[in-house]
Chain A
Amino acid sequence: MTNTINLREMQVNQTGTIRSVRATGELGRRIRDMGLVPNTEIRIVGRAPLKDPVALRLLDFTITLRNNEADFITVEPTGE
């Protein structure tokens, strides 16, 4: 695979495409139910005052999740 990074490592304003969601069980289901699935384009909107959680902009809506949940998601950043 090309250069994929962990969602946690993304900078504010960086964009990319989700390549894999490795969370299983309940968390995995929840993340997918809310629209975080492979091939989704995302942009990091910001991080909360204590750096956690992180807010992600998908095409049509914004989702927030904690860093330790973001760890399950790998993203291929769009070139810059």
Chain B
Amino acid sequence: MTATITAALAGNPNCGKTTLFNALTGARQHVGNYPGVTVERRSGNVKTDTASLNVVDLPGTYSLTAYSPEELVARDFIVDERPQVVINVLDATSLERNLYLTIQFMELGAPMVLALNMMDAVKKQGKTIDTDKLSTLLGFPVVETVARTGLGKNALVQHAVAFARQKEKSWQPLHISYGPVLDPILNEMEEMIRANGFLDQRFPSRWIALKYLEEDEQVLKLGGGSGSKTHQQLKIIADKAKEKCFTTLEVGPEAVIADFRYGHIASMMKQGVVKGDTTHQRRHLSDKIDRVVTDQFFGPIIMLATLYGIFYITFPIGEIPMGWVEAFFEWLTNAATAIIPESLLQSLVVDGIIGGVGGVMGFVPLIMVMFMAITILEDLGYMARMAYMMDRVLRMFGLHGASLMPFIISGGIPGGCAVPGVMAARTLRSPKEKLATILTAPFMNCGAKVPVFLLLSAAFFPDNAARVMFGITIISWVVALLVAKLLRTTVIKGESTPFVMELPPYRIPTMKGVLIHTWERAWQYMKKAGTVILGISILIWAAMTFPGLPDESAGTFQAQRTAAEATLAAATTDQQRSALEQELMGINNMEAQAALKYSVAGRVGSAFEPVSKLAGFDWRTNIALLGGFAAKEVIVSSLGTAYSMGDVDPEASEGLGARLANDPNWSRATAMSLMIFVLLYAPCFVTVAVIGREASWGWAGFSVVFNTGLAFTLSVIVYHIM
């Protein structure tokens, strides 16, 4: 048995690390044509005949001096955890820029294997890369790969294993010259670091010196925290170096360092690493597309048309399989009702489990279609264009172009989920902008809220379902932007941060990628339905069932029933009989109502009714909304249970929507008010937990209270003006 080798996949954003990770490990992590898709590290295993590897996929980073929180994840892993081998993935179509990070890895002394990815695109551009020469120049193995097809992955693994074994524990930092101004200073700093054993020799001393000159926040913090006086001395030298650079070279040390690094790369490239045509077919095409798609006039029109188009196709397409799923659950309900004798168990299975889970499952097809559309847009590279076009607008509201992705993932195009959406905010540099994004992303129209809107719009605004959905989505954006503005001008004031982003080339989405990603999302949704939602549904069912009516009132209903039955038996004409049957049903209804009202849920729901009435919500709706604090998916099913348990008309096999539409307590105003409330009130538990982790528990609590308050206020207003 050999020990497991840890291999980290690192490189620039959007160079294909996750695609390669998936190819190597068989995982299905999210891939997208957008810089900054991966925000967390993920690991997976690869076994060969001779070794076993633990491969870690990292967020992309342009430099080892991290800029945003997700880049910090990558840098910390490489710097602190020191994987046995770093698989440096490079986008070979922009080799020079990608090598900038490689050089920094080399200065750190990391043992590396280079994966020159996107070789298919390089070939299309008519270029060739002399990998042997590059390998000799750098002193590391270089493997050509096409991560999308898995080409070169075996060679890569072999090199990584061999290299990890051979170089074990010896990190050999590269020394490059930083010119006559900085070199003597670097030497002096290095000397000092070595003499004092500064930072326990955990990093190469020249690397620490460079980081002091570059004013790397993390290293300075680490140095300051070590309590060593070397820290102060290094800072003094760094300050002097800065002055000297400005007086002699007119730029800061970080600029000098960057220049020399690029110079080092350029001198390597000059030796003929890349050959061939330098006119870029593909980029020309991308540029041409951009000329239209991001045009000052057509750009916004195309963007809105695209979004509206998604609604326009999703509903008709999604409805067909949705019908099948609904029919299946209807059949299941009937079967369960027939097989299980009337009892608590029947009620649990039919109302609690099938009702709860089926209510959510019915929407899987729709979510899949929506999500497929989002995936295609993302894979094409369109999201990056949207971020670019929207930056100016988002900035007016105290947000940032990079806030767009978290919004969209959260449901800016319906069907998303705020949990990964909040995580995606890690690509934001400034903690203030990040916080504002995190706090407003949960307003978006996530996949769990969609069912509520579909139900209500179909019942109360038939023929206009897609338009209502579009309207709701627009409202979610408007509220998110306004709240962001409010927060950014009050509690989280602060400057905006730069928007420097790469626009990736347009790429044709791969069928496989789109299907896998869509399936992943659908599977997550279904898994949640089968676990969390199932659990909550059972809990809510129990809360709506227990305690049962006390004996005396149950007795009263029983007595009424017996009396009615006796008269029914004595009835002679059909007319009399049907009138009496009506009466009997009325008694049953009243009993069921009374029972529901007597239950824990009924009591809680009723307790809130005096307040919730202001927005038009009765006690049954309150039960559903309380369930929605845990997970929004349960709102529709709890509403269904609350209305079916309190209403046992056997002929009312009509859907919940129709039942609500016919209910005298419901009107368009109620429906609209409820939609607004559901859209905006407290994020679900999981989202709150993620906000707690990404921001703080205080802010998580804030989002629960603030959002609910805002939602209620707006609902009351809507209810009264409608």
Contact = CB atoms under 8 A, between A and B. Distances in A.
Query: Are chains A and B native binding partners rather than an unrelated pairing?
Result: yes
A55 B251 contact: no
Contacts of A50: 392-393
A22 B251 CA distance: 7
B391 A29 contact: no
B392 A32 contact: no
A65 B500 contact: yes
B498 A69 contact: yes
Nearest to A56: B503
Contacts of A28: 252, 254-255
B287 interface: yes
A37 B259 contact: yes
Nearest to B104: A33
B299 interface: yes
Interface in B56-115: 62-63, 65, 67, 93-97, 100
Nearest to A68: B498
Interface in A10-69: 20-22, 24-35, 37-38, 45-53, 55, 57-66, 69
Nearest to A24: B252
B63 A29 contact: yes
Contacts of A58: 97
A49 B96 CA distance: 31
Contacts of B258: 29, 32-33, 37
A46 B259 contact: no
Nearest to B258: A32
Given A48-B299, A55-B290, A55-B503, A60 B251 contact: no
B295 A46 contact: yes
B486 interface: no
Contact of A53 (B287, B290, B391): B391
A24 B246 CA distance: 11
B498 A62 contact: no
Given A32-B254, A38-B259, A48-B392, A59 B278 contact: yes
Interface in B258-279: 258-259, 262, 278
A46 B294 contact: yes
A58 B93 CA distance: 12
Range, interface on chain B:
35 or more
Nearest to B300: A49
Contacts of B503: 55, 61-64
A34 to B, nearest CB: 6
A50 to B, nearest CB: 4
A24 B94 CA distance: 25
Contacts of A46: 290-291, 294-295
B107 to A, nearest CB: 14
B649 to A, nearest CB: 56
Contacts of A49: 294-297, 299-300, 389, 392
Contacts of A55: 290, 294, 388, 503
A66 B502 contact: no
Range, interface on chain A:
35 or more
A45 B384 CA distance: 15
B215 interface: yes
B283 interface: yes
B176 to A, nearest CB: 16
B500 A35 contact: no
Contacts of A34: 62, 97, 500, 502
B294 A66 contact: no
A27 B497 CA distance: 9
Contact of A45 (B95, B290, B401, B499): B290
Interface in B294-331: 294-297, 299-300
A60 B67 contact: no
A22 B392 CA distance: 23
B500 A30 contact: yes
A26 to B, nearest CB: 7
B391 to A, nearest CB: 5
B33 to A, nearest CB: 13
Interface in B498-546: 498-503, 505
Given A28-B255, A53-B499, A55-B503, A60 B392 contact: no
Nearest to B298: A49
Nearest to B500: A65
Contacts of B505: 61-62
Given A21-B255, A46-B295, A48-B392, A63 B501 contact: yes
A31 B287 CA distance: 22
Given A34-B97, A57-B283, A48 B255 contact: no
A60 B97 contact: yes
B255 A53 contact: no
B214 interface: yes
B278 A62 contact: no
Contact of A25 (B63, B100, B215, B391): B215
Contacts of B502: 34, 61-64
B286 interface: yes
B576 to A, nearest CB: 74
Contacts of A26: 67
A44 B255 CA distance: 23
B267 to A, nearest CB: 13
A32 B160 CA distance: 30
Contacts of B287: 45, 57, 62
Contacts of A38: 259
A9 B300 CA distance: 24
Interface string B380-405: 00000000110111000000010000
The 6 closest A-B pairs by CB, nearest first: A60-B94, A32-B258, A50-B392, A33-B63, A33-B62, A35-B97
20 contacts: A22-B251, A28-B255, A30-B62, A33-B65, A33-B258, A34-B62, A34-B97, A34-B500, A35-B94, A46-B290, A53-B388, A53-B391, A57-B287, A59-B278, A61-B93, A61-B94, A63-B503, A64-B499, A65-B498, A66-B498
Interface of A: 20-22, 24-35, 37-38, 45-53, 55, 57-66, 69
Given A25-B252, A45-B290, A64-B502, 11 more contacts: A21-B251, A30-B500, A33-B65, A48-B294, A48-B296, A52-B391, A57-B287, A61-B503, A62-B290, A63-B500, A65-B500
